[in-house]
Amino acid sequence: MTTAFHEELKLELTLTIGGKSFSIPGGQVKHVSARLANHGFTASVSFWTALEKKDAPLFTAFQKPDLVQVRLAVSAVDPELGSPPAPIVLQGLARSRRLVAETHGGLKGTERVFRNYTLEFADAAQVLWRQHRPVELHTDISMAEIIDAHKASLQINQDWAVLRQKMPMLCLALGADAPGVSFYDFILWYVDANNGIWGYDNQKNEYLLADSKPSSGTVAPLDRLRVADVRAQLPPTIRHGTRVLNALANGPTTTPIEQKQAIAGVSHDVMLRTPITAQAEQRQKLEKTRLQVRQRQLQVSFNRFPSVDVFPGAQLRLEGPHWPSSFTGRDEDHRVLELNLEAHAERDSQHDEQQNTVASYQVLLSARLEPSSEPLATLPPYRTPRYPIHVEGLVHSPGGEAPDRRYLIVDDEKTSLSYFRMTVPLWNQTVSVPAEPIHFPGHFFFPPYKNTRVLVELHFDRADLIRFLDWKEGVRTPQDGQGDQILLGWNKTSQTAFTHDFQEDNPVWRMHRTSGGDTQIIRMGEGHLFIQVKETPAGGPPTPTYDVSPQVQAAKADLSASVGGAIGETSAAYQGAMTAVRAKMKSAQAEVKGALGGARAEVGAKVAEAKSGMQGAMSRLSEGVGKLSGTAESAKAALQKLK
């Protein structure tokens, strides 16, 4: 349990509003509350100002809707420390602000007031990205480029090979029709889905996107005398296994992923449908990682401000003569995962400590630690983005004139999959959708024609053709005839039409072929069969041409897919190699730490043995001295008797 303690604190508060900076003396700050985590922070600060005019610059700026930048540095004033730790620094943006005024009276003919300002603020990503809800479609782009386009003023270190992979398409679906889902949620969802790390360094005001936690940093010993209480927090045990189900008609697979503590028959099943083996294997690796059990954590409450850095990410070790030898976590390296700070001024009146930089506070301070070897990320709660979204598109097929009915199928030689191309006019982007029969059975081959209006379903990194939205020009028949028609071919001068309708309530079927001035008609009606072959000289035969645009576009698409696939494979191989190297390095570090721990234990045992021996020798020496003293006293007594 966290208990308040007295501490002299130096608080440095700076507000920047509309380009103007305002420095607030630390003594004016009456309350600070902050929760710092490895992914960001939230905080509030309250302070009094003295004898302000009605139009004081801070008061005037505070009322405007300008962005408020807040910088707060907290450090303890402790004469016992020769080299104090770095101040805890919070740099963020205001989320809300409040103001209360108390009239003081007139001073030199001008009315003056005390004002109490309260600000709630957080790191910039939370403040800005939680209000950012874009709906966008991008093609041939990487996640790194997406983040750069939306990072505003944030400093983000992108040390993750996955982010640099070029993707055929990426869609952001974060609009107002998905309430509560923001770009911040999207980033957390992406990190979680790809087993990555989202970190924040409050001292540098810098974010990190990486595939593993940073292992750099000097480990500092935590003084037991400044700790009030330590509690071990054991993670919940995972009692289920996982099965990855690939629901293909040809070659379905069910891959069980086991873990030691799973109960037989208890499983989390993951369903996917992909003919690409690499995608299925990637999902299996991800689910295996999610079955890892977190290591034990420590909740530490302080009775003094620590003598070492305790902000999130700092490395600590519980060592020193005041820690019991059997204490949980002793002589182990830990990383600060979370820090909670609350400080109330002991003199909280608007008249107190107005110009002082240091003041006395009642402080509540606690930290949550995890082993430095913990690989699993700790993310805040988030809302999952809503996919898919639906937009209108036009079938893309190069070559010919705009009204021509041409189609394009792009074959991916690597995966043996085929795709149609769809242009989404809203963003002027062209995406690939699986070339499938859609609503027709497999013995019909009716690929979508150029510029056909369709409904496209957009997922995060893929698209699907849902249905067609209109008829091509000339296909629809007059309603009076209640007819049906199939129109095949390129255009009016080169096509074949199959029509069935009713004339005078009798069914009529006809086939009409047109190729320039050459026409053939077959018509069957009530009691007759009509066949006509006709060539109109004025029309003339069509000029023989051969449009290679579809082949060129298909070749471009194939090349783009091949290059993107090669880059993806290279990035994946690099990431895999780096992951393996990091794992080996961490394993080596763990072995070295284990050896050092064993050495410490052995040295400690020998020291204890030596101490025990010395204590025994001292005890025997004392016993001998006692006997000698007794003998001497007896001799003195005997001499006295002789006298």
Q: What is the pLDDT of residues 219-253, one digit of tens each?
A: 999 999 999 999 999 999 899 999 999 999 999 99
Nearest to 562 by CA among 279, 168, 171: 168
User: Which of 168-182, 302-316, 559-573, 629-643 is the least confident region?
Assistant: 559-573
Q: How many Cα neighbours within 13 Å face the side chain of 139? A: 15
User: If DSSP states are collapsed to H, E and C, what string results for 484-539?
Assistant: EEEEEEEECCEEEEEEEEEECCEEEEEEEEEECCEEEEEEEECCEEEEEEEECCCC
Mean pLDDT across 463-491:
91
Model confidence at 576: pLDDT above 60? no
DSSP conformation letters of 130-172: TT---EEEEEEE-HHHHHHHH-TT--EEEE-GGGG--EEEEEE
Res 546: pLDDT: 47
Phi-psi region of 195 (alpha: psi -120 to 50; beta: other; left: phi over 0): left
CA 74 – CA 56 distance, rounded (Å):
27
Crossing angle for the helix pair 143-150 and 183-193, nearest 10 degrees? 160
Mean pLDDT of 148-173: 95
- Give yes or no for residue 351 having a pLDDT over 90: no
Q: How far apart are CA 110 and CA 53, in angstroms?
A: 7
In terms of Cα–Cα distance, which of 474, 508, 510, 479 is closest to 493?
474
Burial per residue of 221-242, b for 16 or more beta-carbon CB atoms within 10 angstroms, e otherwise = ebbbebbeebeeeeeeebeebb
Residue 71 or 398, more confident: 71
User: Which region among 188-202, 252-266, 369-383, 573-587 has the lowest average model confidence (pLDDT)?
Assistant: 573-587
Q: What is the C-alpha separation between 422 and 432, in angstroms, rounded?
A: 6
Amino acid identity of 384? T
Whether 332 contacts 271, CB under 8 Å: no
Give Cα separations from 425 to 62, 300, 399, 554, 592 (angstroms): 44, 57, 19, 21, 59
Task: Report the alpha-carbon distance of residue 412 to residue 562 in Å, rounded.
Answer: 8
**Residue 556: pLDDT above 80?**
no
Helices (H) and strands (E) in the chain, counts: 6, 32
What is the reported pLDDT for 485?
92
DSSP string, 578-637: HHHHHHHHHHHHHHHHHHHHHHHHHHHHHHHHHHHHHHHHHHHHHHHHHHHHHHHHHHHH
pLDDT of the residue at 353: 78
Provide CB contacts within 8 A for 352, sequence distance 6+.
Answer: 27, 345
Kindly report, residue by residue over 1-48, the tens digit of the pLDDT.
Answer: 678 999 999 999 999 999 999 999 999 999 999 999 999 999 999 999
Confidence of residue 403 (pLDDT cuts 50, 70, 90): confident
- pLDDT value at residue 366: 96
Residue bearing tokens 């620590």: 306
Q: What is the pTM of this model?
A: 0.83
Nearest by Cα to 28 from 256, 326, 287, 352: 352
Range of lowest pLDDT (63-67, 112-116, 127-131): 112-116
Task: Tell me which of 66-70, 86-90, 174-178, 533-537 is least confident.
Answer: 174-178
Mean pLDDT score across all residues of the chain: 86
Cβ proximity of 51 and 107 under 8 Å: yes
In 3D space, the residue among 57, 13, 62 whose CA is nearest the CA of residue 34 turns out to be 13
What residues have CB less than 8 Å from 600, skipping those under 6 apart?
331
